[in-house]
Amino acid sequence: MKEVRELSYDVEDCADRFVNGAETRRRPARRNASVARLKINRLPRRRRWLPWINSRVLEFRTRAQEANERYWRYQFDDCASGPEYSPATGRTVCAEPGDHVGMEGPVGELHRSLTDGEEQLKVVAIVGVAGIGKTTLALKLLGKLQGQFECVAFVRTAQKPNMRGIISSILSQVRPHQLPDPADMHHLIRDLKEHLQDKRYFIVIDDLWATSVWDVLSRAFPEGSSCSRIVATTEIMEVAQACCSFHPVHIFQMEFLSDNDSQKILLQRILSENQSPQHFDHVLPHILRKCGGLPLAIIMVASLLASRPEKLDQLGFVQSSLGSNMRLQAHPTMERFMEQLLNIRFDSLPHYLKTCLLYLSTCPEGYIFLKDDLVKQWLAEDFMCAQLGKDMEEVAISYFDELVSMGLIQVMDINYSYDLLSYSVHHMVLDFITYKSIEENFITVVDYSQTAMLLPDKVRRLSLHFGSATYATTPASTRLSQVRSLFFFGLFNCMPSLMVFKFFRVLNLRLWVDLGNMSLDLTRISELFRLRYLHVTCSAIVKLPDQIEAMKHLETLEINSRVCAIPPDIVRLPSLLHLCLRGGTNLPDGIGHIRSLRTLKYFDLGNNSEDNLWSRGELTNLRDLHFTYSRLPSSEHLKRNLIALASSLGKLCNLKSVTLAPGTAGMVVLVDGSSSMSSAPVFLERLELLPPICIFSRLPKWIGQLRKICIVKVAVKELLTNDIDILTGLPSLAVLSLWVQTAPEGGIIFNEGALPVLKYFEFRCGVLCLAFMAGAMPNLRRIKLAFNTDIREKYSNMLPGIEHLLNLQDVTGQIGVVTESDRGAAESAFKEAISKHPMSSRSSIQWVDPVEKVFCPSEKQYLRRGRGSSDETHGGLEKAEDAIKHAKRGKTSSAGLDLDHDIKAYRTSCSSAFSPQKRVRTHFFCIRRKATKMGQSYTTTKGGTDRTENKKEQQKLQTPLNYVQRKNQQQSSHSSASVGNKTEDAKLFSTTPSSSNLQSIEREEQMLLDSMEQECLDSSQPGEQIAAETGVQSQVSSPSSRSPSSASTTKKSMLLGST
């Protein structure tokens, strides 16, 4: 395998050298030069290459023939595992975060220890052998307790730790909106300690190896009286004692799994649907005895046996697979046992999985990565084997999932929400694959203590793990020009010159910047014409070349740093698939020309032009779309961009993920998504539109058309019963985050069969009004509930039916304290409700700010500004509704209503291609016109008493509590007082205008409404969908069914819904 790989690399290098030589010799022709002379001059230069090419081709042919003869002579087909290998996908159970057997007791014990109420800083150490589940236990605790602390962080160390990277990682997590400044260790420790001072923090330090590392880290953690906690995991008892200041009560010793738990994990991963556990009674004791209760060993053995399902019941196969000399007798032989097991597991892999696994040795120990990043690098390296009917990216993802199911890649759910999973490689697995990579000359790994080592004759992939070393240098070598991939982790001044490497495919730079080095010059990066993957992460400013068109093979450009300017010719890169830039970056015009683009990340709605958003509809291959809004020039600017965004989304037929996230801390930009977005791609799998940018007035109906949606995160001002049916009808929904300001009067009831695959549910509302019927959410694992303490009548019978959630494992309650008097009642009611569930011991309560602060007071302040200026769709509509109501009472309310301006705005909207916005403006224009004419025609006959009563009425309507009760009271009082109101209106109207004038105004309004109705009927969207998007329901009904009273009621309901 190694010989064939080296031969293929040499062939590619030969072709690259010839192409590169031809490109460097090519010069632009003079305008007056003849074509014939140009051909004659270049012909001798080409002939000089012929002898060299002929000799190389003969050499490659000879090597290929020799390798082929050896292959058949030694019959390598008999040793290969490919023909008999059965992929793990579909049979083995991929380890889900949080779904871990044997963790109930340790989690409960440590949870009680960490929440005992002690005010001083407490450090708890988890100690145990490698592979026993220390990291898993620490992540479980982090997920359960993180909501109770102001600052939370998770870091992994290594046997050769990067101290600057560890401190910077903690600082960036506890202070996410401010990146760490370039500084030395002393300044970083000081900044971290100052930020954590007088705060309640929870830090998890995973895999500590030395007391010296703890001595440095402990200086950054202030010892206050804020009930802060630190959890450290280690394999060394001396390190655990040093962390806990030699308090044995704070040290938790992990034990091996019992036989019952071990058998449960094993059967869960090797059994298929039609198999019974009794088939393996004669082999299970032998397997369990080999594994000895070590979770990592059990997972690897299960994946090994599952790859040969037809021989699972044969004891001889099990013994030969596990090896006859493998014994697990005592802790000193643990590493030897795992080494033998890893050898067996590696030899049984097919060649394509071996290649992908060896590639993980480029990562430093303790490195945490994402699936998408590794998949992109695999694709750039051409590791994938084509499969019929599958895209190459889908093939790469299936490879990754197989390695995860085998336990060779660890799953780390740091956010504890099944949302964005992180991954890592266990240090035992990393040591093994690093040894194999060096043996096969697949990857050359150099750390800061090995800079004097001699490199192989041909270095194909070079990974430099320099960490915080100040004077580390790249080992000298005469063949670095053949390096295909470079991975650098270290300080800026230790990075080698990139121009030494001519034939890069992959370039991955993770830099820590020193003081004085504030810019990274990549202006010559365009000379690397074979580069396919470029990733840069640093705190310096990156300078790209003015022209980048020569990088025709570039597939991924990801820069997690500030960029001076994006080359304008980036839109002419034919192979670009993934473009990921930090928020706030201005993209050049014409981004729609990159038809090959699949990922567009952190597209800034504030800094990019409206034309770029409209042209984005041409990116028909786009799959992953991330938006942000890093600055606030004007609400009108954001509204126009969102209209362009919504209009182009329907054209992106291959889109799978849409995320809209704020880019600046504390920014509040409220836009009603229901008026901006009319539809979404039907293949969408992820939808995140959350405050403070996007809030829907109601749940859009088009969400019910997303049959493949897996993750939904939305916020609505009002949730109705029909909206609940939309959500429960989604068959693939696994993660649901729902923020509600006004819940339905009858509560939210999930019936039998609702959300069958949902695993994580987050619900935020001022009132906890959820109910679960038997059979609802059968796979729900975690639920997070946020509500307030000021709704006394809701404390009785809280969370009815929670006992029906059979697979529920964790319940987190976030209670917003509005009045201290209700604090105890809310806590006792919540605990009583959770106690009905058999897993009530896994619940936790967190005291937070009131839930309504998600929408106010920042929202109210913004709406006050928006209503007076640019918010035509909502603020202006409410203003017009109020004007009509005041005019009917005889008040002059025409101030601020500019009819000419509205007519101009309406004509402009008619020329727009965004039809829902046009319908809203049509209705808005009708109301404004009627209000203006009524204000000009009629005079006021009532005094300040009416204004005071109207002000009180508006204040009541703005109060979010008991909204449904007030609405019902208004509707009942409206019917009883209709006669009196008509009489009073007649008296007011008889003072100045005639009845004929009033009828003419009504006729004009009717004509405008009829024209809008005809427009709605002529459009491609059904009337119900238009009504749901615009919030105008009466305008899509038949003219005969419309009456003045019903129109008035509709306008009142619209006003209530908008407020």
Q: What is the pLDDT of residue 730?
A: 93
Question: Based on the domain organization, do 517 and 414 belong to the same domain?
Answer: no
CA distance 416 to 397: 22
**How many domains, in total, are found in the chain?**
5
Peptide bond into 993 cis (omega under 30): no
Q: What's the pLDDT at 1044? A: 39
Question: Do residue 119 and residue 164 come from a single domain?
Answer: yes
User: 132-141, 201-210, 610-619, 839-848: which range is least confident on average?
Assistant: 839-848
Pick the range with the lowest mean pLDDT from 614-618, 692-696, 857-861.
Answer: 857-861
Residue 389: predicted pLDDT: 79
423 with 514, same domain: the answer is no
Q: Are residues 550 and 425 in the same domain?
A: no
Cα atoms in the Cβ-side hemisphere of radius 13 Å centred on 940: 13
Dist. CA 877–CA 892, nearest whole Å: 18
Instruction: State which of 421, 439, 457 marks the end of a domain.
Output: 439
Q: Has residue 835 been placed in a domain?
A: no
The parent domain of residue 569 ranges over 443-471+479-582
Longest dimension (CA), the chain: 111
Q: Compute the average pLDDT of residues 705-727.
A: 91
**What pLDDT, on a 0 to 100 scale, did the predictor assign at position 932?**
46
- For tokens 């609405």, name the residue: 967
Instruction: Read off the pLDDT band of 320 (50, 70, 90).
Output: low
**At 943, is the pLDDT very low, low, confident or very high (cuts 50, 70, 90)?**
very low
Reported in sequence order, the residue ranges of 639-734 that DSSP labels E, i.e. its strands, are 657-662, 671-672, 686-689, 694-695, 711-718
How much is the pLDDT for 1052?
35
Q: Given this model, what pLDDT does residue 998 score?
A: 47
Residue among 234, 158, 342, 357 nearest 334 (CA): 342
Inside any domain, residue 743:
no
Write out pLDDT tens, residues 980-1018: 443 333 332 333 344 444 455 455 555 555 555 454 444
Q: DSSP letters along 274-335, please?
A: T--GGGGTTTHHHHHHHHTT-HHHHHHHHHHHHTSGGGTT-HHHHHHHH-TT----SGGGHH
**Rounded-to-10 torsion of CA 197, 203, 207, 209:** 20
Rounded to 5 degrees, φ, ψ at 473 are -135, 160
Q: What is the domain-level CATH number for residue 198?
A: 3.40.50.300
CATH number of the structural domain spanning residue 557: 3.80.10.10
Residue 696 has what DSSP assignment?
Answer: B
DSSP 995: H
pLDDT at 532: 95
The verdict on 1028 and 901 lying in the same domain is yes
**Cα separation of 733 and 355, whole Å?**
34
Between the alpha carbon of residue 586 and those of residues 300, 438, 610, the distances in Å are: 47, 43, 12
Coil, strand or helix: which one is 798? coil
633 inside domain = no
Which pLDDT score is estimated for 286?
82
Same-domain check for residues 327 and 204? no
Helix-, strand-, coil-residue percentages of the chain, each rounded to 5: 45, 15, 40
Separation between Cα atoms, residue 81 and residue 78, nearest integer Å: 8
pLDDT band at 174 (very low <50, low <70, confident <90, very high): very high
Residue 1042 has pLDDT above 50, yes or no: no
Q: 320-324, 354-358, 815-819 — which is least confidently predicted?
A: 320-324
Last residue of a domain, one of 193, 228, 253: 253
CB 871 within 8 A of CB 905: no
Query: pLDDT higher for 827 or 41?
Result: 827
Please check whether residue 849 lies inside any domain of the structure.
Answer: no
By CB neighbour count within 10 A (0-12 exposed, 13-18 middle, 19+ buried), where does 857 fall?
Answer: exposed
User: Which residues are within 8 A (CB) of 140 and not within 5 positions of it... i.e. 6 or more apart?
Assistant: 98, 100, 103, 107
Confidence at residue 42, expressed as pLDDT on a 0 to 100 scale: 47
Three-state secondary-structure class, residue 789: coil
Instruction: For residue 3, give the amino acid letter.
Output: E
Q: Residue 801: inside a domain, yes or no? A: no
**What local confidence, expressed as pLDDT, does residue 318 receive?**
62
SS3 state at 737: strand
* Inter-residue contact 8 to 382 (CB < 8 Å): no
**Residues 245 and 281 occupy one common structural domain:** no
Of 439, 462, 495, the position where a domain reaches its end is 439
- Residues 274, 412, single domain; the answer is yes
The helix/strand/coil state of 1043 is coil
Condensed to tens digits (0 to 9), the pLDDT of residues 412-456 reads: 888 777 778 899 999 999 999 999 998 888 999 988 877 666 777
pLDDT tens digits, 580-597: 998 678 888 888 889 999
Give per-residue pLDDT as tens, 470-500: 777 777 665 677 888 999 998 888 888 888 8
Q: How confident is the model at residue 864 (pLDDT cuts 50, 70, 90)?
A: very low
Shared domain for 450 and 430, answered yes or no, is: no
**Reported pTM:** 0.75
More confident site: 710 or 87: 710
Q: Which three-class secondary structure state does DSSP give residue 727? A: helix
Please state the separation of Cα 122 from the chain's center in Å: 32
* The pairing of beta strand 461-465 with beta strand 444-447: parallel
Rounded to the nearest 10 degrees, how much is the dihedral formed by the CA atoms of 344, 349, 353, 359?
20
- Give pLDDT, residue 46: 55
* Domain match, 399 and 485 both: no
pLDDT at 1010: 56
Same domain, 209 and 243: yes
Q: Over range 623-635, report the average pLDDT.
A: 75
Lowest mean pLDDT among 84-88, 178-182, 374-378, 927-931: 927-931
Lowest mean pLDDT, pick from 282-291, 660-669, 1019-1028: 1019-1028
Task: Tell me the H-state helices in 204-246.
Answer: 211-217, 237-243
What separation in angstroms does the CA of 497 have from each of 42, 517, 749? 33, 15, 63
Tell me, what DSSP letter sits at residue 678?
A: -
The residue with greater pLDDT, 632 or 1040, is: 632
How many angstroms separate the CA atoms of 784 and 803, rounded? 16
Residue 619 lies in a domain: no
N- to C-terminal Cα separation, the chain:
69
Report the 10 Å Cβ neighbour count for 330: 8
Q: Same structural domain for residues 244 and 308?
A: no
**Could you read off the pLDDT of 872-884 as tens digits, one per residue?**
333 433 444 444 4
Cβ neighbours of residue 470 under 8 Å, at least 6 residues apart? 491, 493, 494
Distance between CA 129 and CA 253 in Å, rounded?
A: 10
Asked, for residue 757, whether it belongs to a domain, the answer is no
In a domain? residue 930: yes
**Average of per-residue pLDDT across 617-637:** 78
Which carries the bigger pLDDT value, residue 807 or residue 673? 807
